[in-house]
Structure 1
Amino acid sequence: MKSKLTLRLDDSLIKRAKRHAKRKGTSVSQMVADYFALIETEEPSSAIQELPPVTASLAGILKNKNIGEEDYKKHLEDKFLT
């Protein structure tokens, strides 16, 4: 079943949304529906809550760190070669 939803937005935002939808060959309604479907799938799952406490406490610890392959190689060299 489809229902109507009214959104109150700035006129300039509505115009931009309509232009974007036209360029993409879709409707503003479909863009909003796609967005809501996307954010529904991105919500944090309860998987972290099911992890053992030690593992759960480490989840996301490196989220904002810039660690690359070279850092990992150096860690292994330090650990096993010195």
Structure 2
Amino acid sequence: MKSKLTLRLDDSLIKRAKKRAREKGTSVSQMVADYFTLIEAEQSSSHQKLPPVTASLAGILKDTDIREEDYKKHLEDKFLK
């Protein structure tokens, strides 16, 4: 069953989305549906490979700016000082 969904977006984003849809020969609605289908598939496939506790924690640090060097420094500080 298909239902209608209203999104409120900036005019410039709407124009870009419509242009992209025309270029791809699809609709903005289909692009949004494809996006959420893709995200759902990625999350379910990546979480299925992890133990339950790890899967529940996956993704909680996405918005941080932690680099490998920061982690190495943390380990040095913790174990070598």
**Is the TM-score greater than 0.5?**
yes
Report the counterpart of residue 18 of structure 2 in structure 1: 18
Structure 1 residue 47, shift from structure 2 partner: 2.3
CA RMSD of aligned residues (A): 1.8
Q: TM-score normalised to the size of structure 1?
A: 0.58
Using the alignment, how far apart are the partners of 1:37 and 1:46 within structure 2? 16
Structure 1 residue 46, shift from structure 2 partner: 3.3
Structure 1 residue 5, shift from structure 2 partner: 0.6
Identify unmatched segments of 5+ residues in structure 1: 51-63, 66-82
Answering whether residue 50 of structure 2 is matched by residue 48 of structure 1, we say: yes
Q: TM-score normalised to the size of structure 2?
A: 0.58
Aligned residues: 52
Structure number with bigger Rg = 1
Structure 2 counterpart SS, 1:8: coil
Identify unmatched segments of 5+ residues in structure 2: 53-66, 69-81
